[in-house]
A and B are shown apart, each in its own frame.
Chain A
């Protein structure tokens, strides 16, 4: 049975007694899954992660990681988690290898174990050839991979990834996803990640929580979230003239059928399962299906449905975003 490895209850962070960054959120993450926090910039994703990784103390509420309380047993939490921050945190003046070894020292991993593991991790993220070069010569993708390797030096049970592909180009992003999947398979870790890229959440996450203005709006698998919108759209055409609306309606999961010109527009849950059933049913009654197309709702549709706006629109203007960041930074700094 899969256990809940992260449990958050009413987790809240208020900066400077006025800026509510995270507003009473509760959720749990199961062992072995990739759990994604999806939301626009400034929604409270990083603040949540910072509380879970014990860098920030919650103003209210609590959370536990593998049963350890994030405030009272912060040091135990730190030992069992790995963190890959949004920024590149490696020391530019040191080499890739030195950076990993520095992390190992901070975790107190025995030197001989650390040395072996560092080389293994560098190999895993394809940086072996560059291990003795200073990090300042690394490209964005290489830095991101080095961050991943550093985050894994203590063989964490839970890995936190904060915007793992922020600022990477499309190709590097896809490659990074590959590395994350590889890590998950290789080490069977639970991964908690934040992102504001819908494609990323869709491609990587087993479950997603949509967060906006510091609140969790909905939690579910990408499929569930999409299905919650009423399902996929199947457009189907048949050779025969007869009306088959009733036949289509009789099939399981079909919610709505509309005849548009020569085609039937069918709204159904689990479109990829329903479509074959549809073809099968029609064929059994002697109809010939000539065309079929299946359109799945995207996460963008989900986002639109739950937040009332598209994720791209909800990204505030650059200036507003900058001001927001400054306010947050000040609040954190003071």
Chain B
């Protein structure tokens, strides 16, 4: 039979489809003020409670060391100078010495003198991770409610369907990271002297890489789940180990030897390090480059795997 001429007005484009589907997700999200408030509240509570309560730097402060004003030391404990029967140390001065030593310890351990700054940046990468994963979950609903069926029966590019999900997750993660950074700054985050506004671009680039890689794989996992429970369980299963087997809340070099290789393989460590280098630490260029290489490779491999698996599912 002869071909009826196709409707020439349909010109499905990747960009338009991608933007339409992404805008839909963002609209849903922005239309829900309660969700937005909770989005902001969650990191605020974490930072306020964990960051401000765990004042590790206070362990070493003068107030905590609290020496008596005079400390008698028996003569035999002193090797030199000989002949003295007893030495009396000035407690106040000693406290000061310890306090100075404390900030040295903080500096060596965390790279900064206050734990809050260290933790707040860890918080950013943690939120990036959870936001990314939770956003990917919406595809389960799209499937169950039939929305996905409708979308795949239109001529929109299959890639646009997948990338819209990834882009949505990434934009949300970036938005949240911005909110946390702003809040942390208000709450007393100390930026390093090497920080410039240009560094923020680096921050977003690092978050972008992490989000793209993680959400692609998570998408592949969610798109095959018929129930919400599975991805939920998966998130709670992997969040904790990823978080604590990384430098998010504690520096790697003080961790036990068996844990260190895991921490060093954990992409979250690289994200956190990149973010710290760019904001609170005096920037170490070689470390930053290494962080970005790792994140780039991570994002590349995972998004390829994730998108191939999802693609297969969409074109059954």
Q: Which of B217-272 contact A (CB under 8 A)?
A: 224-226
> A87-B146, A105-B20 are known contacts. Are A330 and B226 too (CB-CB below 8 A)?
yes
Chain A residues near B156 (CB, 8 Å)?
106-108
Q: Does A145 contact B (CB under 8 A)?
A: no
Chain A residues near B145 (CB, 8 Å)?
87-89, 92
B137 smallest CB distance to A (angstroms): 15
Chain A residue, CB-CB nearest to B8? A79
Please pick, from A75, A102, A113, the residue contacting B9 in the complex, using a CB distance under 8 A: A113
Q: How far is the CA of A87 from the CA of B149 in the complex (A)?
A: 9
Q: Is the CB of A54 within 8 A of B2?
A: no
Q: Is the CB of A94 within 8 A of B27?
A: yes
Chain A residue, CB-CB nearest to B11? A108
Q: Does B38 contact A (CB under 8 A)?
A: no
Q: Does B107 contact A (CB under 8 A)?
A: no
Q: How far is the CA of A107 from the CA of B12 in the complex (A)?
A: 5
Chain A residue, CB-CB nearest to B146? A87
Please pick, from A81, A83, A330, the residue contacting B150 in the complex, using a CB distance under 8 A: A83
> A67-B3, A87-B145, A333-B226 are known contacts. Are A110 and B9 too (CB-CB below 8 A)?
yes
A37 smallest CB distance to B (angstroms): 17
Give the total of A residues in contact with B, Cβ under 8 Å.
48
Q: Does B82 contact A (CB under 8 A)?
A: no
Q: Is the CB of A108 within 8 A of B224?
A: no
Chain B residues near A3 (CB, 8 Å)?
1-2
B314 smallest CB distance to A (angstroms): 9
Q: Does A198 contact B (CB under 8 A)?
A: no
Q: Is the CB of B1 within 8 A of A55?
A: no
Q: Is the CB of B149 within 8 A of A154?
A: no
Q: Could you mark each residue 80-95 of chain A with 1 if its beta carbon is under 8 Å from any beta carbon of chain B, else 0?
A: 1101011111111110
Q: How many A-B residue pairs have CB under 8 A?
A: 115
Q: Which of A95-138 contact B (CB under 8 A)?
A: 98, 102-103, 105-110, 113
Q: Which of A121-176 contact B (CB under 8 A)?
A: 150, 154-155, 157
Q: Is the CB of B152 within 8 A of A55?
A: yes
Q: Is the CB of A329 within 8 A of B1?
A: no
Q: Is the CB of A55 within 8 A of B155?
A: no
Q: Is the CB of A109 within 8 A of B10?
A: yes
Chain B residues near A108 (CB, 8 Å)?
10-13, 16-17, 155-156
Q: Is the CB of A103 within 8 A of B154?
A: yes
Q: Which of A46-90 contact B (CB under 8 A)?
A: 50, 53-57, 66-68, 75-76, 78-81, 83, 85-90
Q: Does A286 contact B (CB under 8 A)?
A: no
Interface of chain B, main secondary structure: loop
Q: Is the CB of B155 within 8 A of A106?
A: yes
A137 smallest CB distance to B (angstroms): 14
> A89-B147, A329-B226 are known contacts. Are A107 and B155 too (CB-CB below 8 A)?
yes
Q: Which of B125-146 contact A (CB under 8 A)?
A: 145-146
Please pick, from B9, B32, B226, B315, the residue contacting A109 in the complex, using a CB distance under 8 A: B9
Q: Is the CB of B153 within 8 A of A102?
A: no
A68 smallest CB distance to B (angstroms): 8
Q: Which of B1-57 contact A (CB under 8 A)?
A: 1-4, 6-7, 9-13, 16-17, 19-21, 24, 27-28, 31-32
Q: Does B151 contact A (CB under 8 A)?
A: yes
Q: Is the CB of B10 within 8 A of A89?
A: no
Q: Is the CB of B147 within 8 A of A91?
A: yes
Chain A residue, CB-CB nearest to B18? A105
Chain A residues near B154 (CB, 8 Å)?
78, 103, 106-107
Chain B residues near A67 (CB, 8 Å)?
1-4
Q: Does A334 contact B (CB under 8 A)?
A: yes
Q: Does A4 contact B (CB under 8 A)?
A: yes
Contacts A80-B4, A106-B156, A110-B9 known; 6 new A-B pairs at CB < 8 A:
A78-B155, A85-B146, A85-B149, A88-B146, A103-B150, A108-B11
